[in-house]
Amino acid sequence: MCGIIGCNGVEGAASAITQGLERLEYRGYDSAGIAIIDNKKIRYEKKKGRISVLIKALKTQSDFVGSIGIGHTRWATHGKPSDENAHPHISGKFAVVHNGIIENYRQLKEKYLKLVSLKSDTDTEIIVQLLNRLYSGNCLETLSNTAKLLEGSFAIAVLCEDEPDTLYCVRKSSPLLIGVGNGVYAASDLSAINDRIHTLYRMNDGEIAVISKTEAEFYTFDKKKIVKNPEEFEKAESNCGKENYEHYMLKEIYEQPAAVQKTVDAYLENNKFRLDFELNKPERIYIVACGSAYHAGLAGKRIFEELLKIPVIVQVASEFRYSNPLINENTPTIIISQSGETADSLAALREAKSRGAKTLSIVNVRHSSIAAESDYVLLTRAGQETAVATTKAYSAQLAALYMLGIYFAEKFGTADSKTTEKLKSQLETLHTAILSALDCEMQIKELAQQLQSAEHIYFIGRGLGYAAACEGSLKLKEISYIHCEAYAAGEMKHGTISLIEKGTNVIAADTEPKLSPKLQSNIDEVVARGARVTAITSQGKIKADSVIKTPAVNELFAVSTQIVPLQLLSYHIARLRGCDIDKPRNLAKSVTVE
């Protein structure tokens, strides 16, 4: 949510920054801006709209040159998307870009900036106005004094005309990485700078980076120097482009077999797990996440309870963190997050740790805050995911949860070895079933034609089918803007069935054979009221207006195959409706604010 980038000692800083911004655009795309120091003067440009609008505006300016600069792509929190509210914000000799929220900005304005008339509606402008107001002639000192006044979350990059060869960065609770290569870079995530650097540092909360043309020094907010070791990192994959696909989302749907295979292969070889989590059988387990990761957690709950025979509580992170959760040192807490930076999930992790729980994160981004702060990490191997609507990372999360379920069942002795051995060998070939599930695309395209004008679509399922329904519904609503609701099929008759009338579309996910007769009854109930039902099933016993067959897999893994037609359906409906599939309105891929 908001992407920031900065660089120093880089020939053609403006183009390095705009290139980085294009890679960060998934974090927010309602406006963008850039500032550089050219001949000791700050020059800047900022525009409402996509990065492409900013780049077009920069092209009309012949002399936008300099080797130091900062850039920003915005997801609006305070103040609507507009040129004025776009970053950078400027005051006196300072330019600032910011990712996060300054929670006490009204109080700071009242106390320190009463007479200042602000140019924007943003919380960020308070930072730059404070820097200008508190400026002592020493940037580090002023930044340290300012940072100590700010409450909330912030990753900030700062330019000051008095120090035209130094870039400053500050971090508290919002991600920021520093990389050294041909010049020195700062960025919200590695993808923006990966190909430009050979050494990587991760900023921690409460740190200031002082960046020269060749190196970075780190300080606490009290200006005490910190010695920091570089992090290991992998150079960018070469297949980060769209290749021949029309959208990243479709490419990533097709990358799911590989994402699942790589994730499983990383931790399971010859039916043996390469996992080492020191946990005794607990009384219960918490799973905490947001969005699709939460939906993966819903499937995880069902699988864990089946295999571990202990209660599993799944909670959305924004609720968990304020719910006084019933956890202690005997309640392991699993955090699931593609980005590893989701603010609520990170706060939930910290909450669980503060209560003594052992924490285990399932993350896709190695250098993320959640990975860094967890006791144990299971890294999914989905590779970089660019479309805002997650597909392959979600599938990799499911695979990670299957592995954990089987691993813990073996470790705690809660399932017999015949069962766990069979599950492990089935898991090793799950990617081939996902590959076959992709064969349904032609049928899905026809279904998308029929459903493209629907105003409402209901998704129903039982057991793991309900978990699949939740994710299918979220996928469709987020990229097509059709109102969708997911319901536990048996619960429809307690209210929601009143919305079913002639022609209402219902999609049913049939995952567990023992629940199929019950699901069929629920399908019949909505059909009796005029609904048009599409069923996703591997069994062929379900009767509905349309049936999409998925490959037969162990019922515990069925969400992994059934989600494929649901993702493709969302994609094709959104495409027919002319939606901006990879960057849906109002959303961002990495949600780093509460």
SS3 422: helix
The residues, ordered by sequence, that sit 6+ positions from 41 with a Cβ below 8 Å of its Cβ are 161
In the complex with ligand G6P, which residue's Cβ is closer, 216 or 468? Answer: 468
SS3 93: coil
Minimum Å gap between C-beta 180 and ligand G6P is: 27
The structure tokens listed for 367 are 């250098």
Binding flag, residue 129, ligand G6P (CB under 6 A): no
- Residue 7, strand partner residues: 69, 185
Phi, psi of 363 (to 5 degrees): -130, 160
DSSP letter, residue 221: T
- Alpha-carbon gap, residue 583 to 548, rounded angstroms: 28
In the complex with ligand G6P, which residue's Cβ is closer, 470 or 536? Answer: 470
In the complex with ligand G6P, which residue's Cβ is closer, 307 or 398? Answer: 398
Site string for ligand G6P, 535-574 (x = CB under 6 A): ----------------------------------------
In the complex with ligand G6P, which residue's Cβ is closer, 180 or 474? Answer: 474
- Residue type, position 92, single letter: G
Binding flag, residue 290, ligand G6P (CB under 6 A): yes
Please spell the DSSP secondary structure of 315-326, one letter per residue. EEHHHHTTS---
What residues between 310 and 349 interact with ligand G6P by CB under 6 A? 337-339, 342, 345
Binding flag, residue 72, ligand G6P (CB under 6 A): no
Among 291, 300, 405, 463, binds ligand G6P (CB under 6 A): 291
- Alpha-carbon gap, residue 200 to 179, rounded angstroms: 4
Contact stretch for ligand G6P (CB under 6 A) within 249-257, 445-453, 535-543, 582-590 = 582-590
Site string for ligand G6P, 378-407 (x = CB under 6 A): ----------xxx-----------------
- Alpha-carbon gap, residue 23 to 36, rounded angstroms: 19
Binding flag, residue 282, ligand G6P (CB under 6 A): no
In the complex with ligand G6P, which residue's Cβ is closer, 46 or 589? Answer: 589
Q: Which of 548, 540, 539, 543 is nearest to 528 (CA)?
A: 543
* Residue-level length of the chain: 594
Minimum Å gap between C-beta 340 and ligand G6P is: 7
Count interface residues toward ligand G6P (CB under 6 A): 16
- Residue 533, strand partner residues: 506
Minimum Å gap between C-beta 484 and ligand G6P is: 15
| Active site amino acids | 2, 589
Minimum Å gap between C-beta 252 and ligand G6P is: 11
**Helical segments of 179-315, H only:** 248-254, 256-267, 291-308
The structure tokens listed for 147 are 């940072």
- Alpha-carbon gap, residue 67 to 84, rounded angstroms: 25
Binding flag, residue 292, ligand G6P (CB under 6 A): yes
Binding flag, residue 263, ligand G6P (CB under 6 A): no
Minimum Å gap between C-beta 317 and ligand G6P is: 8
Minimum Å gap between C-beta 389 and ligand G6P is: 6
Q: Hey, what long-range contacts does 378-383 have (CB within 8 A, 24 or more apart)?
A: 378/267, 378/275, 378/403, 378/404, 379/266, 380/259, 380/263, 380/338, 381/259, 381/262, 381/263, 381/265, 381/266, 382/255, 382/259, 382/262, 382/263, 382/338, 383/237, 383/239, 383/255, 383/258, 383/259, 383/262
Minimum Å gap between C-beta 365 and ligand G6P is: 8
- Residue 219, strand partner residues: 208, 225
The structure tokens listed for 201 are 């540092």
Q: Which residue is nearest to ligand G6P (CB)?
A: 291
Minimum Å gap between C-beta 387 and ligand G6P is: 9
In the complex with ligand G6P, which residue's Cβ is closer, 90 or 293? Answer: 293
Contact stretch for ligand G6P (CB under 6 A) within 118-126, 197-205, 284-292, 495-503 = 284-292
- Spatial strand order of the sheet with 207-211 comes to 89-91, 94-102, 152-160, 167-172, 207-211, 216-220, 225-226
SS3 138: coil
Binding flag, residue 587, ligand G6P (CB under 6 A): yes
Minimum Å gap between C-beta 342 and ligand G6P is: 3
In the complex with ligand G6P, which residue's Cβ is closer, 44 or 294? Answer: 294
In the complex with ligand G6P, which residue's Cβ is closer, 331 or 339? Answer: 339
Among 36, 348, 591, 593, binds ligand G6P (CB under 6 A): 591
Which residues contact ligand G6P by CB under 6 A?
A: 290-293, 337-339, 342, 345, 388-390, 587, 589-591
